[in-house]
Amino acid sequence: MKKSKRESTVIKTSILSILANLVLVGFKATVGFMSNSIAIITDAVNNLSDALSSIITIIGTKLAGKAPDRNHPFGHGRIEYVTSLVVSAIVLYAGITALIESIKKLINPEIPEYGTVTIVILVAGIIIKFALGLFVKNTGKKVHSDSLVASGTDAFNDGLLSISVLASTIIYIIWQIDLEAYVGILVSLYIIKTGIDLIKSSVDNILGTRAESTLTKKIKKTVMKDPDVEGAFDLVLNDYGPDKYLGSIHIEVRDTLTVAELDQISRRISQNILAQYGVILHTIGVYSVNTTDKATQKIQQDIKSIVFSHKGVLEMHGFYLNNTDKTISFDIIIDFAVEHREELYQHIYDEIHTKYPDYELHITLDIDVSD
């Protein structure tokens, strides 16, 4: 989806969400104060935080759409992650405020006064929240907007929470059992949890997280389809905002290829990946594969057996043996779950060096950056 169309969709959906939430805030706040219901007032506060979140989402989307400049050559897409952090803080603050008020009601309870209008508004609010949640979430998935997906999920969950408010209201009307403060605390704790989860997600995006497994696997599979590529490794994707990836990859190719042929392979791969996935591979590194010496291939298989005899080794690649310089080079990837990765690396190094003492080893402990 083109940037302008995506931005327009996110903004229109957010405006719809704002209007719906403000309507709910108005009705719920009015009914809450009239009926002296802390649970309904807390629910209204939750809807208000949703409206504020959508406003900030619009601001973030507009700022993120600014063209690249000298100081920000990769664009401003990451602003969406910063605004997402602000939204998270608002949600958390709303939850803490609502919790304080609910505890006050628990300590100093007041008798609520419910009527038919209260029930009607709560039911209408539940229906609106469910419908809004599904629409916003589905739209977010279509335009790859994490903010919209999060807002839609939050709206759908708000509908579930509103059901608990409705249930406490009905229970009081029928049996005169007041669960107001308890439901208010329940809703408040949920809002707080949501705020904390959103903050964690925002911080993860700012710090940089592992690229989506589905995308990285597709890219590697596409690269491997090139007739001159024998292996694809070390795919790194740097995220500069939603659907804005710049990356690099290493490929294994025959050692008989010329520089001109490598140049054509590199350009071909870059163009294919950009066309299919919108990902810019700005660097394609090359590992040369021994293809003319059977003895070298035998040594490679022996070393491969040694490497993979150790539990925790995920991958070995980039093997090359230079008989002129008497060097052996390759990379290994050890699972992050292995507690002492450097010790395992050293053990593998020593084992190979013992078997091939005449060669100088260049074994790189690589990082498991993508699936």
DSSP character at residue 360: E
Report pLDDT for 3.
Answer: 60
- pLDDT surpasses 60 at 369: yes
Position 54 scores a pLDDT of 82
What pLDDT digit, counting tens, does each position of 291-348 carry?
Answer: 877 889 899 999 999 999 999 999 999 999 998 899 999 999 999 999 899 999 999 9
pLDDT digits (tens, 9 = 90+) for 149-159: 777 877 877 78
Number of domains in the chain: 2
Position 371 in a domain: no
CA angle 5, 215, 206 (to 5 degrees): 70
Do residues 234 and 189 share a domain?
no
Domain match, 315 and 176 both = no
| 282 within domain boundaries | yes
Q: Are residues 109 and 255 in the same domain?
A: no
In a domain, 135, yes or no: yes
Query: What does the mean pLDDT of the chain come to?
Result: 86
> Does 271 map to a domain?
yes
Q: Tokens in use for 23?
A: 């309507």
**Tokens linked to 69:** 């400049």
Matching residue, tokens 């208010």 = 184
Estimate the crossing angle of helix 180-207 against helix 146-175, to 10 degrees. 170
pLDDT band at 141 (very low <50, low <70, confident <90, very high): confident
Residue 307 sits in a domain of what CATH number? 3.30.70.1350
Query: Residues of the chain with pLDDT > 90: what percent?
Result: 36
Type of residue found at 10: V
* Mean pLDDT value across residues 223-240: 92
Does residue 357 sit within a domain? Answer: yes
Note whether 329 and 300 are within 8 A (CB): no
Same domain, 225 and 283: yes
Residues 55 and 124 in one domain: yes
Residue with token string 């964690």: 200
CA angle at residue 12 from 50 to 48, to 5 degrees? 15
Looking at the structure, do residues 199 and 241 belong to the same domain, yes or no? no
- Write down the pLDDT at residue 251: 95
Return phi, psi of residue 52, to 5°. -65, -40
The whole-number pLDDT of residue 66 equals: 83
Task: Give domain status of residue 77, yes or no.
Answer: yes
Q: What is the dihedral of CA 13, 150, 239, 65, to 10 degrees?
A: 20
Q: Is residue 322 domain-resident?
A: yes
- CA nearest 269: which of 292, 240, 248? 248
User: Is residue 226 located within the same domain as residue 334?
Assistant: yes
pLDDT score of 249? 95
Where residue 2 falls among pLDDT bands split at 50, 70, 90? low
The residue segments making up the domain with residue 311 are: 213-366
**Beta-bridge partners for 330:** 363
pLDDT, position 230: 92
Residue that terminates a domain, selected from 164, 180, 207: 207
CATH number for the domain harbouring residue 56: 1.20.1510.10
Residues 88 and 18 in one domain: yes
Structural element, H or E, at residue 32: helix 3-35
Residues 192 and 234 in one domain: no
The residue among 187, 207, 227 that closes a domain is 207
Is the whole-model pTM more than 0.85? Answer: no
- E-strand ranges in the chain read 231-239, 245-254, 280-289, 313-322, 327-334, 360-366
CB atoms within 10 A of CB 213: 10
| Residue where one domain finishes, among candidates 186, 207, 228 | 207
Both 167 and 219 in one domain: the answer is no
| pLDDT over 70 (residue 243) | no
- 64 phi, psi to nearest 5 deg: -65, -20
Residues 116 and 256 in one domain: no
Tens digit of each residue's pLDDT (9 = 90 or more) over 203-225: 888 888 888 899 999 999 999 99
Taking residues 46-68, report their average pLDDT: 81
Both 173 and 86 in a single domain?
yes
Residue 194 lies in a domain: yes
Q: DSSP letters along 173-203, please?
A: HHH----HHHHHHHHHHHHHHHHHHHHHHHH
User: CA of 150: how far to CAs of 20, 147, 153, in Å?
Assistant: 17, 5, 5
